[in-house]
Structure 1
Amino acid sequence: MPRTAFLSTGFHVPSHVVTNDDLAKIMDTSDEWILQRSGIKTRYWVDKGDTGVALAREASQKALDKAGLALVGAEVHSRGLDKTTRGRDTAVLFGDGAGAAVLGPVDDDGRGVLSTHIFADGRYAEKLWVDGPGLAHDPYVSVEMLEQGLHRAVMEGRDVFKFASIKMPESIAIALKTNRLTPADINLLVPHQANQRIIEMVQKAAGLRDDQVYSNIQKYGNTTAASIPIALDEALAEGRLKQGDLLVLTAFGSGFTWGSAAIRW
């Protein structure tokens, strides 16, 4: 019976690099402050005229050029960020970009997606969300809503850190148990690139060595839906995966939602 496998990957980020020193010019922050709390050195933000669709198109084309159905994550956060000191805790984290993977059937029993695991807990929705515009409001969008800043992302950082550091390792353990595998069997873990401290906590809780975990958040920041495909494509370009390796993906996001996937490369 054919399995679904990753046939190729690709990613694209805007040309505009935003350093921590650049942010220090528009808000009360510093390179040291951002690095200590997130591990991020740079991120990419779109310029005027760029769109998420344009980023997705470029990433998809790169993946399709290498292989043939693309799964794409594309995000433009920079246009919705509060780039003042008031919004510093979120503005310094996020970057723009798109990542893509081409999936398809393979007849090789030793290759492909072994299992996927997805979870959610809506009790924590307001810990990481954008209140409006939205269908919960009537009207959908209003001047008052914009004046109150309800269209800006809100994040309770401590709660996100706590839950992400617990739930991602739990989902990794579930993926391993489902496939009768152990942490030692993992050749590469590609986690959601949310925060370097979270990645380190996940690594520790999962019992993994440094060489088993991939991180590139220092270059791109948190690109949310694009972060794993971007990291995966760079890991492949660096030769971090070879045929037959066990790849594990894990993510955490608003909702709260979290999950994992075990893949035999």
Structure 2
Amino acid sequence: MTAATVRLADVSGYLPGEPVPAGYYTDYPGAEDRLRNSPMFKIPSARHHVADGESNTDLVERAVQPLLERQGRDAIRAVDVLLVHSQLPDIPFVGAAGEIAHRLGLRPRWMLDVANGGCASFVHLLELARQILTTTDARTALLCNAQTAAGQLFTQDRVRGLAHAAIPGDGCGVAYLTTGAQGSPVLGLRTRHIPQNAGEMTLVRDDGRRYWEAGQAQPRIGFTESGVTKVLDRGNRLVPEVVRDLCRDLGKDSADIDVLVTNQPNRLFLESWRQALGLPPERHPDTFDRYGNLFGAAMPITLDHAVREGTVPQGGLVVLGGFAHAGDYAAAAAIRWQGRA
């Protein structure tokens, strides 16, 4: 039996609140850090923050609204597969998938919260969904990438003045997949796990306590100058490598890519990836200055942004690519864009 073709039928994004200007961080008393001049931490013009008490589920519910309007409430409620990546879980022990299903009125056969994949988690979710949709009787899937760390972790009063705090933004991207006749076919995927790098992204507190232990120090990402150098080197290399591998699988060259949608970590990476793959800026949507680093939500939000701006051509080869954390995962996916189903 021939495996069903998995198609991206629709994609949508949501940004919470009003844009937060760079001055929110740069004008903060004591805002100074030895990493401030690193190309890794050049500040975007704006980003969005979740409101106090706003959850991953809240963001997903708002991001899904355009899908309900375009695809119909019954179609979304009937999804067989729900996959969720939350990049700051609301509570330690339970992911958001169950609450999302309840809030949206879903009854999926498959429901998974995925912790790994980081900034490339959208491709990770896409790969998992394709595996389920082509090997079971499931026929539709809803993928959800929610990012809420910016307005919670990075706005703490003892973290806000650090160089890395000004880079992230909050938002949510969602996608609806189907094995039906309508939508943009997924042509291929390439993923690489690099386990030796998995322990290099750390959450630290200056008093040495772990994040759940009581104390005065606030949790932050444990960036060091040597660690930043490693991440820059790996990121510059990993994304072009995995994109080229995928293009070879398809019998294509990177120059054949009509739209490259990547995660949006900083200007340096975006420019480096374009140059390495020989693509002009107009074929690589850039949302960094508007939304900051959206982590795992960046790919679906940026794709939705490009579609709404009319820069994704009908029949175009769209490649999604990115890397995660300190370089423990890299992934790419190719889609033949046929518009929203």
Q: TM-score range by the shorter chain?
A: 0.7 to 0.9
Superposition deviation, residue 187 in structure 1: 0.6
1:161 is matched with 232
**Structure 2 Cα separation of the partners of residues 231 and 128 of structure 1:** 25
Note closer, same or farther for the CA distance 1:263–1:45 as it changes in structure 2 (3 Å cut).
Answer: same
Superposition deviation, residue 223 in structure 1: 1.1
* Alignment check: 8 A CA contact 2:202 2:221 kept: yes
Find the partner of 1:180 among 251, 266, 269: 251
2:191 is matched with 118
* 5+ long unaligned stretches in structure 2: 77-140
> Which AA in structure 2 matches 1:188?
V
Find the partner of 1:51 among 55, 58, 71: 55
1:5 is matched with 7
**Structure 1 Cα separation of the partners of residues 232 and 300 of structure 2:** 22
Note closer, same or farther for the CA distance 1:35–1:216 as it changes in structure 2 (3 Å cut).
Answer: farther
> Which AA in structure 1 matches 2:25?
L
Q: How does 1:226-237 map to 2 (within 5 A)?
A: 226-237=297-308
Superposition deviation, residue 17 in structure 1: 2.2
Note closer, same or farther for the CA distance 1:250–1:47 as it changes in structure 2 (3 Å cut).
Answer: same
Note closer, same or farther for the CA distance 1:228–1:124 as it changes in structure 2 (3 Å cut).
Answer: same
**Structure 2 Cα separation of the partners of residues 18 and 112 of structure 1:** 37
Q: Are positions 1:72 and 2:144 aligned together?
A: yes
2:103 is matched with none
1:258 is matched with 330
Query: Normalised by the size of structure 1, how large is the TM-score?
Result: 0.86
Aligned residue pair count: 255
Q: How does 1:167-206 map to 2 (within 5 A)?
A: 167-206=238-277
1:249 is matched with 320
Superposition deviation, residue 166 in structure 1: 0.4
**Structure 1 Cα separation of the partners of residues 15 and 184 of structure 2:** 30
* Alignment check: 8 A CA contact 2:160 2:166 kept: no
97-106 or 61-70, which deviates more: 61-70
* Alignment check: 8 A CA contact 1:16 1:46 kept: no
Q: Are positions 1:89 and 2:89 aligned together?
A: no
1:135 is matched with none
**Structure 2 Cα separation of the partners of residues 24 and 38 of structure 1:** 11
Superposition deviation, residue 180 in structure 1: 0.2
Note closer, same or farther for the CA distance 1:17–1:29 as it changes in structure 2 (3 Å cut).
Answer: farther
Q: Are positions 1:99 and 2:167 aligned together?
A: no
Query: Normalised by the size of structure 2, how large is the TM-score?
Result: 0.68
* Alignment check: 8 A CA contact 2:261 2:284 kept: yes
Superposition deviation, residue 79 in structure 1: 0.8
* Alignment check: 8 A CA contact 2:186 2:335 kept: yes
* 5+ long unaligned stretches in structure 1: 133-137
Over aligned residue pairs, what C-alpha RMSD do you find?
2.8
What SS does structure 1 have at the residue aligned with 2:220? coil
**Structure 2 Cα separation of the partners of residues 22 and 123 of structure 1:** 36
